[in-house]
Amino acid sequence: MLPVIPESIKNLVAAMRVAPGMVIADFGAGSGFVAIELAKQTGAAGMVYAIDIQEAPLEVIRTEATTQRLFNIKAVQSDLEQPKGSTLASNSCDWIVISNLLFQVPNHQTIVAEAKRIAKPHGKIAVAEWNPAFMPSADHHPLDKQETRALFEQAGFAYVSEFAPDARHFGMIFEK
């Protein structure tokens, strides 16, 4: 069983206002905190694609989904830094979550382009990232709020709103 859900995850999921039946992609899903919570909200009619480059965390997601009887999660091992890296169909997702991922990759544009490709018309993107002042390691590529907003707007997304995952992260919602 996964540990208690961090407040930052609860705040991210609350900001999304997910409805039953939605299709969601969780980019860089890690051990699945976000994907599991979203699967509970989308219900049996929805689908959550938990996408990560590493197999080990995806196995944790599969196990936890089975334990919780959440059959609307599909764990996908994939490299989001490659063109069409999610392997999902174009215009297929109501929401894409990009949480604590952008700071880990040098080419942010590839991730954003993939989100744009798979988002349905008027699909939304929830971004939650480390505030650079709280960055745990200097070996990463953090963006501040202004840089993040510019990255998504330059890719053709419309800024919708901000939310506060916790004191160390910032969050934004964009629409295709």
For the chain, the domains span 7-175
Residue 141 pLDDT more than 90? no
Per residue in 109-134, pLDDT (tens digit) is 999 999 999 999 999 999 998 887 77
54-62 long-range contacts, CB within 8 A, separation 24+ = 57/29, 57/30, 57/31, 57/32, 58/29, 60/2, 60/31, 60/32, 61/29, 61/31, 61/32, 61/35, 61/36
pLDDT averaged over every residue in the chain: 91
* pLDDT score at 106: 79
Confidence bin at 31 (pLDDT 50/70/90):
confident
CATH architecture classification, 7-175: 3-Layer(aba) Sandwich (3.40)
